[in-house]
Structure 1
Amino acid sequence: MDPHEPLSPDQLYRACDPADFPFSTTEELPDVPLVFDQRRAMEALHFGVDMADPGFNVFVPGPTGVGKQTAVTDVVSQRAAQRPAPPDWCYLHNFKDPFKPKRLQLPAGHGRRLQQDIQELIDELRTAIPAAFEGEEYRARVEELEQSAREREARAIEELRQKAREKGIALLETPTGFAFAPLTHEGQVMPPQVFNQLPPEVQKQIEATVAELQQELQKVVRQFPAWRKEMREKLRQLNRQVTQNAVGHLIEDLREKYREFEGVLAHLEAIQQDIVDHLEDFLPQPAPPIPLPFLINRAEERLKHYRVHLLVDHSETRGAPVVHEALPNHTNLIGRIDYRAFMGTLVTDFSMIKPGALHRANGGFLILDARKVLLQPHAWDTLKRTLQAGEIRIESLERTLSLISTVPLEPEPIPLNVRVILLGDRLLYYLLDALDPEFRDLFKVAADFEEDLPRSPETHQLYARVLATLARKEKLLPLARDAVIRMVEQGAREVEDAHKVSAHLRGVTDLLKEADFRARQAGRGHITRADVEAAIDARIDRNSRLRERIQELIERDVLLIDTEGSQVGQINGLSVISLGDFSFGRPSRITATARLGDGKVIDIERETELGGAIHSKGVMILANFMAARYARVQPLSVAASLVFEQSYGPVEGDSASLAELCALLSALADLPLRQDLAVTGSVSQHGKVQPIGGVNEKIEGFFDICRRKGLTGTQGVVIPQANVQNLMLRQDVVAAARDGKFRIHAVATVDQALELLLGVPAGERGPDGRFPPETVNGRVERQLQEFAELRRRFAKSKDQDNRGGEEA
């Protein structure tokens, strides 16, 4: 490739071959999965999804918008549909320790059935138990027990009364209890005055008899509590029997229905035992004299303990669950325990346990955005801890951080079987891999998605089918063939590679929607190339305020850029300004000066702390190139300076190092540089021109300035030869090149760039090891030799002056 000859229009824009698109509109094309050819990533994703080992969770790195989530959802949904639905999970009241609810695992759909059956049991208990205790039979049996107890006590008292009467003593019932009194011969209670008239011996005998009977009375009375306890026990047995008769068949029916599930049988047994132990709670309670709103119904509170809290219900799930959690914080991942206010305090129970994403995805797949997980406090640690433990333990973040000291619920942990798939940028993946030692143990599979695809007839056809599928999915107009071709070419432009095409589905979809809007505005039935180009132009126009402002300033000579003539030590460099997703090129004047010195090349941008590290590296490389080429056997006796004129912000990158080197060599050779050519490219220490980024924007940026100031036919841009494959220029630039109004030259070496810019042969070393004197390299070498000779003379003269001073 001759650098003096400009690139042909075909090299500036690689158009698609219409033969690669054998259709009229995308209506003729079938639907395909909305994922471009991502063989490596898809194989890794399939492996991670199918692998049974719990440590083979998947991280999907890659830029946003390339279809990662769509691909993951499609693959996971296909696998999930082939798997059985996971079990239901319930929580039950723990009658032994209410603060530690019990978990219950049931086959899919059985959880809801059990919940309904237990609720029906509770509804029956509300009426069956009170009804059983209000029946005539129960009342008669209670009355019988009470009558028997009363008769037993009365019989014992009567026996004692008869015994006392035989001894002439009467047993009397008083308001305060029992009392003994002597009887007269007529059988009447002896008045006190009569008793006092009796002989002392008789009185003492009567008192002894009363004392003896008093002891016997105490023995009888002491038996009453035991007899009454016995009666209450009989009554309790009766109540149990009545309760068993009332609810036993209900619970027995459930036992038979769920005989295969030990957890259900244990819960039914606990319910039955609790009913018996707290039977009084179910019996009618007397109404309080003053109704109080905060008084609780003890029966209803007791019945709440019998319910089944269905935490995860898979009764309507077909296959394994696939869960996308949009807000993956600590609570949303592992669940929470809610509270309600009661009389100024917060109370809770097992029915207020709420599931998290890990509960819902248990037995299936959980898809998370890695960045969102890392941004939520402690969510990443919670996710790792849960995966490592293999169980979901619901614990509030406050308790985890030891910020509260109350006694909360501690639900029994649920075993975890889930495949977690994280989506994130490559930077996140490599940072986690480098900084988190646990990351590799938990996420062993990386499904890396590419952001571009090689352009080929097969890729073009796949691209067309994806566009057809997108149009149908988004309910857009079908695309004509020329519109598909323009979309593919724009995809190559976006990845800055004429031999590749963008796989950024989000960007493709957005552009397609805007083109559809333009087509509908024009009343067309399908999207044409003109609609796509109008959408692209409109997108650029919406973001081009700053670009137009800069171009206006250059046109008015506020920012100084020459597009004609030539100047020594002055050149037009090119840079790219990026604002969000919009980038544009801006030419910048670079100047260089050279004088006698000690070999230092001053980068003014670095000295003022405006130059970045990469830019400083580029300046150092060009300085060492000069030393290696021109000062191999003598000191580099030059003091040079380089600067971006009218630059008031940071300067970064090495893409201007070729322009800086040319400006510096121009100053040394005293040869003027063409101002109608702008230059971009970096250089190596051996003088090779290396590729740079943003080549299309840089060329277009200088073209826009030249067009504003007037195209002369000699203007153009010098780019690295390696960047020719990246060219996908705007059509107005290609048209100007075709008409000979604008030129793009590609160079591989510094010498080729110098010949273009200076119009003088660069020159090669001859057999004598010197450059021809009138070449660029010869003039530079001669100037540096003169600097070196002058430096030697100055050094010798200074040495003589120093010796002369010593002799004096």
Structure 2
Amino acid sequence: MPISNLTPADLRLTIVPESLGFSDTSELLNLPLPWIGQERAETATRFGLGMDQPDYNLFVLGEVGSGRTSLLTQAMQAVAVERLVPPDLCYLHNFDTPERPLALRLPAGQGRQLRQLLLKMAKSLVTEIPQQLAGQDFKTESAHIEKAYKDEEAKAYAELSSFAEARNFSIHREAGRMVFTLLGEAGQSLAEDEVLSLPKERRAAVEQAEQELRVEITLYFEKTRPLERVMNEALAALLRQVVKPLLDHGLQEIRAGLKKQIKDAAKLNAWLDDMAHDVLDNLALFQIADDDEESRQDFLERALSRYRVNLVVDNGGLSGAPVIIEDNPLFRSLFGSIEYQSESDVLVTDFTRIRAGSLLKAHGGFLMLHLRDLLADALVWEKLRRFLRSGRLQIEEPGTAFTPIAAVSLEPEAVDIEVKIILIGSRDQYYDLQEADPEFARRFRVKVDFAESFSSSDETRHASSIFVAHACRQLGLPHFSSAAVARLLEDGHRDADDQARQSAIFARAEALVMESAAICRARKNELVEAEDVDAALQARTWRHNYPDQRLRESIAEGDLLIDLRGERVGQINGLTQVDLGDYRFGFPIRITSRTFAGDAGLLNIEREVELSGPIHDKGVFILQNYLAALFAHIAPLSLSASIVFEQEYHGVEGDSASCAELYALLSSLSGLPLRQGIAVTGAVNQHGDVLPVGGINEKIEGYFRICETAGLDGSQGVLIPWRNRRHLMLESKVVDAVAKGLFHIYTVEHAKEGIELLTGIPAGTANEAGSYPQGSVLGHAQKNLQIFRRACHAPEHPKAGRKLLR
């Protein structure tokens, strides 16, 4: 098709405010916020959240700002409301092995109830058991038991005393031992030296009597100790008899208080029985003297902690399944932890110091994580992989093995967890994960792919208007008029570089809403208008465009050489784009070419000095092949040529300049000058078709600003690919200049069309023999190539001479 000069109507999409169907966004507040342009992601999300089978976790991929987190949170909350509330999770003291606390699941709310009932029971036992032990009935019965023992013990002691007296010994008790002393004839106690002074026969008799007494003392203890054991057993049985009704009543209240069906009922009943046995086995602790209040309080603390419930997950306040968003997935916060305290240079802990992490809290519901956060900690990543494989979570404190002091460790009972994990990541992270860790990736069978842009329609514009209305309400901002919303929508098309598609990065739109509202308030207006949005866009540009401004100043001051008028051979203005991450802008760059006779072919100077990327090098090779195809009838070409980006010191990447490079090369080869006021962008393929390029709006506007600074005279413009027409969303200043004929935007579909515009001479079409008409651009180039060929084969030519010598 022939070259076309675009009209102002072709240069941008203009949305008529009246077509939106409202006067301002306050009229849209009662409408629900839809998934704008994300039908694929919405369908995948609903499918994934509704699947109860294992490994149907969701991997959400897309660009930052596309609404991944907010929309998934909204979807999770909507589904969670319809689900049952999951059970509470408690940890209990293990009476058999205290280092292995027991896990107990209870219906939601009953964990708190069990904790209160046990606390009430423990306090009542501490109060009521001493009262029962102080009662008259208990005292009478215990005194009777003790009296029976003492009577038997007194009888045995009297017999022992008689036995000792018969052998001239006195005997008495001292600190639980029997002490005996030899008596003299007068009944006095003999000292050791007096015993030694006795006659030998007398000493032998004393020693014999002493041995007999020792044997009798042993027999005495053998007789009284069983009596003491019987007494203690009788007293213990009496204590149990007194306390057991209290325990039974307390346990009955606990079991009656937990009315709902409990999945772990057998486990809870077994633990309550163990607790009752533990209380009965330690009744002596309740017999602390009344005046030892400190000891009594110490026991109270120990009793409360021993029979306490550690309610690590309390779902009593929920009305549906939990929705947890973990923004800081450290090991402790994600998997739970065990707290320690130092006592006598030893780290100690117990079951009451177990803490739940996000995974435990999300049981029965949803947990959202960001992949980048997980990858930052290899320990977290490996633990999560193990959990996804088994579905069971073991709370541990991995750092205790490396502490400088000894630690008392716990190994809480592992629990099964049913949770739907929603993992947020980028596309690159998703596919990297598929390759690097396929086992992990297999756990996320639902791919939720958020689009970067979507086809615009009346429905999507209406939905976007609802988004603006909700943003104004949530942020407390003044509402937007329909004209302001239309301007926001146009900026969405500009962000997508497409008249038919709108950007799905709504974080940018939300930021523009806030900035526009701030300007509106500064003007003391009640409604945000289109001029407020334009002012916000201009202010945003002003905050970011310093590098752009400095480049334009360098061109205006003559430091960067750009010709905007006249004609030059082998020289053209290409268009390039600089993307700084937070700001993109375009500017022209001079491309020059030199050609002469030789056989070196095309030299890409950027490539030779390693200032070009692979895509740019690919474009030059394609250009070279297209050039060779144009003149295949005189191949091999006797040509040496060079192409260079003048004053470019930072590197070149991309193939969008290959069309401009081709024109510079053809100009040098044909000797025909090119119009310097027309800047060129576009990629070329091996058939000469001009392919679309990115950043087309920034490139055009960047060149326009350079021309505007130098003064528009109607000769300047840009030459762009015909296939880039739908990507045009130019600022109003450029559109106005085109309308006045001061600036032109041309489109071409084939490279030959562009060379005709730049030289004013037909490109030329090859005849059956492959030759081009004289006077055409390609005809001039063909003529010069034939001259180069003859020059290379002339005898005086150094290389031709060498060939002739062969």
Give the TM-score normalised by structure 1. Answer: 0.91
2:275 to 268, 271, 274: 271
Matches of 2:141 and 2:169 in 1, distance apart?
32
Q: Which range is displaced more, 395-404 or 494-503? A: 395-404
- Partner amino acid, structure 1, of 2:522: Q
- Partner amino acid, structure 2, of 1:28: E
Q: Which range is displaced more, 604-613 or 388-397? A: 388-397
After superposition, residues 785-800 of structure 1 pair within 5 angstroms as 785-794=786-795
Q: Indicate how the Cα distance of structure 1 residues 801 and 382 shifts in structure 2: closer, same or farther if over 3 A, else same.
A: closer
**C-alpha displacement of 1:267:** 2.1
Structure 2, unmatched stretches of 5+, are: 191-203
Matches of 1:752 and 1:561 in 2, distance apart?
24
**C-alpha displacement of 1:119:** 0.9
Q: In the alignment, which residue of structure 2 is the partner of 1:233? A: 233
Matched-pair contact (CA < 8 Å) for 1:387–1:416: no
**C-alpha displacement of 1:66:** 1.4
**C-alpha displacement of 1:699:** 0.4
Matched-pair contact (CA < 8 Å) for 1:614–1:653: yes
Q: Indicate how the Cα distance of structure 1 residues 788 and 206 shifts in structure 2: closer, same or farther if over 3 A, else same.
A: closer
**C-alpha displacement of 1:152:** 0.9
Matches of 1:358 and 1:206 in 2, distance apart?
81
Matches of 1:208 and 1:548 in 2, distance apart?
121
Q: Indicate how the Cα distance of structure 1 residues 593 and 210 shifts in structure 2: closer, same or farther if over 3 A, else same.
A: closer
Q: In the alignment, which residue of structure 1 is the partner of 2:357? A: 356
User: Residue 96 in 1 paired to residue 96 in 2?
Assistant: yes
**C-alpha displacement of 1:231:** 1.6
User: C-alpha offsets along residues 335-381 of structure 1, whole Å, 9 cap, x if unaligned?
Assistant: 11111122332211111111100011110000111221222332222
**C-alpha displacement of 1:272:** 1.4
Matched-pair contact (CA < 8 Å) for 1:56–1:443: yes
Q: Indicate how the Cα distance of structure 1 residues 801 and 699 shifts in structure 2: closer, same or farther if over 3 A, else same.
A: closer
Q: Indicate how the Cα distance of structure 1 residues 665 and 96 shifts in structure 2: closer, same or farther if over 3 A, else same.
A: same
User: C-alpha offsets along residues 201-246 of structure 1, whole Å, 9 cap, x if unaligned?
Assistant: xxx9999999999967754453112212222222222222233244
Q: In the alignment, which residue of structure 2 is the partner of 1:197? A: none
Secondary structure of 2:378 counterpart? coil
Q: Indicate how the Cα distance of structure 1 residues 803 and 41 shifts in structure 2: closer, same or farther if over 3 A, else same.
A: closer
Matched-pair contact (CA < 8 Å) for 2:161–2:171: no
Matched-pair contact (CA < 8 Å) for 1:90–1:104: yes
User: C-alpha offsets along residues 278-304 of structure 1, whole Å, 9 cap, x if unaligned?
Assistant: 223333269899x99xx9935532431
Q: In the alignment, which residue of structure 1 is the partner of 2:657? A: 656
Q: In the alignment, which residue of structure 2 is the partner of 1:110? A: 110
Secondary structure of 2:438 counterpart? coil
Matched-pair contact (CA < 8 Å) for 1:572–1:590: yes
After superposition, residues 400-411 of structure 1 pair within 5 angstroms as 408-411=409-412
Give the TM-score normalised by structure 2. Answer: 0.91
Matches of 1:364 and 1:147 in 2, distance apart?
65
Cα root mean square deviation, aligned = 3.3
Q: Which range is displaced more, 496-505 or 132-141? A: 132-141
Q: Which range is displaced more, 8-17 or 31-40? A: 31-40
Matched-pair contact (CA < 8 Å) for 2:346–2:406: no
Matches of 1:181 and 1:664 in 2, distance apart?
138
Matches of 1:798 and 1:431 in 2, distance apart?
53
After superposition, residues 218-229 of structure 1 pair within 5 angstroms as 219-229=219-229
1:283 to 275, 282, 287: 287
Q: In the alignment, which residue of structure 1 is the partner of 2:587? A: 586
- Partner amino acid, structure 1, of 2:287: L
Matches of 1:633 and 1:531 in 2, distance apart?
63
Q: In the alignment, which residue of structure 1 is the partner of 2:198? A: none
Q: Indicate how the Cα distance of structure 1 residues 403 and 76 shifts in structure 2: closer, same or farther if over 3 A, else same.
A: farther
Matches of 1:744 and 1:190 in 2, distance apart?
137
Secondary structure of 1:447 counterpart? strand
**C-alpha displacement of 1:625:** 1.0
Matches of 1:14 and 1:338 in 2, distance apart?
62
**C-alpha displacement of 1:439:** 2.7
Q: In the alignment, which residue of structure 1 is the partner of 2:197? A: none
Matches of 1:711 and 1:8 in 2, distance apart?
18
User: C-alpha offsets along residues 542-575 of structure 1, whole Å, 9 cap, x if unaligned?
Assistant: 1111111111110111111110001111110111
- Partner amino acid, structure 2, of 1:243: V
Matches of 2:107 and 2:483 in 1, distance apart?
56
**C-alpha displacement of 1:403:** 11
- Partner amino acid, structure 1, of 2:222: R
Matches of 1:700 and 1:751 in 2, distance apart?
25
- Partner amino acid, structure 2, of 1:54: P
After superposition, residues 213-362 of structure 1 pair within 5 angstroms as 219-258=219-258, 261-284=265-288, 297-362=298-363
After superposition, residues 350-429 of structure 1 pair within 5 angstroms as 350-398=351-399, 408-429=409-430
Q: In the alignment, which residue of structure 2 is the partner of 1:16? A: 15
Q: In the alignment, which residue of structure 2 is the partner of 1:199? A: none
Matches of 1:180 and 1:798 in 2, distance apart?
139
Q: In the alignment, which residue of structure 2 is the partner of 1:700? A: 701
Q: In the alignment, which residue of structure 1 is the partner of 2:193? A: none
Matches of 2:70 and 2:552 in 1, distance apart?
41
Aligned residues: 787
User: Residue 128 in 1 paired to residue 132 in 2?
Assistant: no
Q: In the alignment, which residue of structure 1 is the partner of 2:666? A: 665
- Partner amino acid, structure 2, of 1:459: T
User: C-alpha offsets along residues 310-335 of structure 1, whole Å, 9 cap, x if unaligned?
Assistant: 01001111100000001012221111
**C-alpha displacement of 1:399:** 6.5
Matched-pair contact (CA < 8 Å) for 1:586–1:702: yes
Matched-pair contact (CA < 8 Å) for 2:619–2:684: yes
Matches of 2:389 and 2:705 in 1, distance apart?
59
Matches of 2:321 and 2:289 in 1, distance apart?
50
Matched-pair contact (CA < 8 Å) for 1:384–1:442: no
User: Residue 486 in 1 paired to residue 487 in 2?
Assistant: yes
Q: In the alignment, which residue of structure 1 is the partner of 2:46? A: 46
Matches of 1:252 and 1:528 in 2, distance apart?
71
Matched-pair contact (CA < 8 Å) for 1:34–1:470: no
Structure 1, unmatched stretches of 5+, are: 193-203
After superposition, residues 25-174 of structure 1 pair within 5 angstroms as 25-29=24-28, 30-33=30-33, 35-158=35-158, 173=171
Q: Indicate how the Cα distance of structure 1 residues 191 and 42 shifts in structure 2: closer, same or farther if over 3 A, else same.
A: closer
Secondary structure of 1:282 counterpart? helix
Q: In the alignment, which residue of structure 1 is the partner of 2:648? A: 647
**C-alpha displacement of 1:782:** 1.4
Secondary structure of 2:449 counterpart? coil
Matches of 1:180 and 1:58 in 2, distance apart?
94
Q: Indicate how the Cα distance of structure 1 residues 401 and 759 shifts in structure 2: closer, same or farther if over 3 A, else same.
A: farther
- Partner amino acid, structure 2, of 1:530: E
Matches of 1:77 and 1:749 in 2, distance apart?
54
User: C-alpha offsets along residues 586-642 of structure 1, whole Å, 9 cap, x if unaligned?
Assistant: 110111111112142111111111111111111111111111111344212111111
- Partner amino acid, structure 2, of 1:26: T
Q: In the alignment, which residue of structure 2 is the partner of 1:744? A: 745
After superposition, residues 407-806 of structure 1 pair within 5 angstroms as 408-794=409-795
**C-alpha displacement of 1:174:** 5.0
Identity %: 38
User: C-alpha offsets along residues 75-122 of structure 1, whole Å, 9 cap, x if unaligned?
Assistant: 111110001100000000111111110000100000000001111112
Structure 1 residue ranges, 4+ long, deviating more than 4 angstroms after superposition: 157-165, 168-183, 188-192, 204-218, 285-289, 399-407, 794-804
**C-alpha displacement of 1:148:** 1.5
Secondary structure of 2:560 counterpart? coil
**C-alpha displacement of 1:433:** 1.1
Matched-pair contact (CA < 8 Å) for 2:684–2:691: yes
Matches of 1:31 and 1:784 in 2, distance apart?
70
Matches of 2:804 and 2:214 in 1, distance apart?
146
Secondary structure of 2:649 counterpart? coil
**C-alpha displacement of 1:643:** 0.8
**C-alpha displacement of 1:179:** 8.5
Q: In the alignment, which residue of structure 1 is the partner of 2:5? A: 6
